[in-house]
Structure 1
Amino acid sequence: MRPTQTLLGGGGGMPFGKHNNFIGGWGNFGGMKQKGIITYGIAPNRQNPLAGVAHDAIFNTWRRFSSQVLYWAPAVAGGYYLLNWAVERNHYLNSKAGRAEFGGEE
């Protein structure tokens, strides 16, 4: 069985670049030289991937927290006070005084 033109990496029907320059087949970008393409690089020992991470994490977290706190804080505070009221009411209803006051209603 003979491989197809695509598997051979040939130029049959291959796309051309922006300026009608063939840039090569899949994984083989060794065609004609392109114009106007500038690439930059930096040596691995000159990179600092964690530069400013702690500083940015603190201030970015504060910025995001302060912009969203008024949306969820009232709901959290209301839920806390509602739950606190329910627990105290339950303790009262199950205490000696609560049973004496509301014991005959149930």
Structure 2
Amino acid sequence: MGHGFGGLYKLRGIVTYRLSPFELKAFGGIISHGIPNTIRRTAESILYIVPPIALGYLCYSEIEKAHHRTMLKNPADFENDK
């Protein structure tokens, strides 16, 4: 009994190698792999993102124009006021 949690059994004949996370490069491959991957993913998803945004902007701008037109006063209503 007396073994700690990590030493409950022994593996014999199996050799494992592992690199410590503290020895890895934090930004390794960001220029050679990260930027091209970002460009590729953006190009693939642009057809899903741009049309709804464009449609939303067009709706918003037309509604704002209509609201502005309806808020204007009619000058003919005030011709006889002095």
TM-score category, normalised to shorter length: 0.5 to 0.7
How big is the shift at 1:43?
7.2
Once superposed, which parts of structure 1, at least 4 consecutive aligned residues long, lie more than 6 Å away? Answer: none
Q: Aligned match of 2:12 in 28, 31, 34?
A: 34
Q: Aligned match of 2:55 in 75, 78, 92?
A: 78
* Residues 1:46 and 1:72: Cα distance change in structure 2 (over 3 Å): closer
* Residues 1:83 and 1:45: Cα distance change in structure 2 (over 3 Å): closer
Name the CA distance, whole Å, in 2 between partners of 1:49 and 1:39: 23
The percent of aligned pairs where both chains have the same amino acid is: 28
Given the alignment of the two structures, is residue 89 of structure 1 paired with residue 66 of structure 2, yes or no?
Answer: yes
The structure with the greater share of residues assigned to helix is: 2
How large is the RMSD of aligned CA atoms in angstroms? 3.2
What amino acid is aligned across from residue 50 of structure 1 in structure 2? F
What amino acid is aligned across from residue 28 of structure 1 in structure 2? G
Unaligned runs of 5+ in 1: 1-7, 10-23, 101-106
> Could you give the per-residue CA deviations for residues 38-91 of structure 1, whole angstroms, max 9, x where no partner exists?
322457886323212255333222111110111121111011000000001100
Q: Secondary structure at the match of 2:56?
A: helix
Name the CA distance, whole Å, in 1 between partners of 2:65 and 2:29: 48
Name the CA distance, whole Å, in 2 between partners of 1:52 and 1:83: 42
* Residues 1:54 and 1:29: Cα distance change in structure 2 (over 3 Å): farther
Larger radius of gyration, structure 1 or 2? 1
Q: Secondary structure at the match of 1:65?
A: helix
TM-score calculated relative to the size of structure 1: 0.53
Name the CA distance, whole Å, in 2 between partners of 1:94 and 1:43: 67
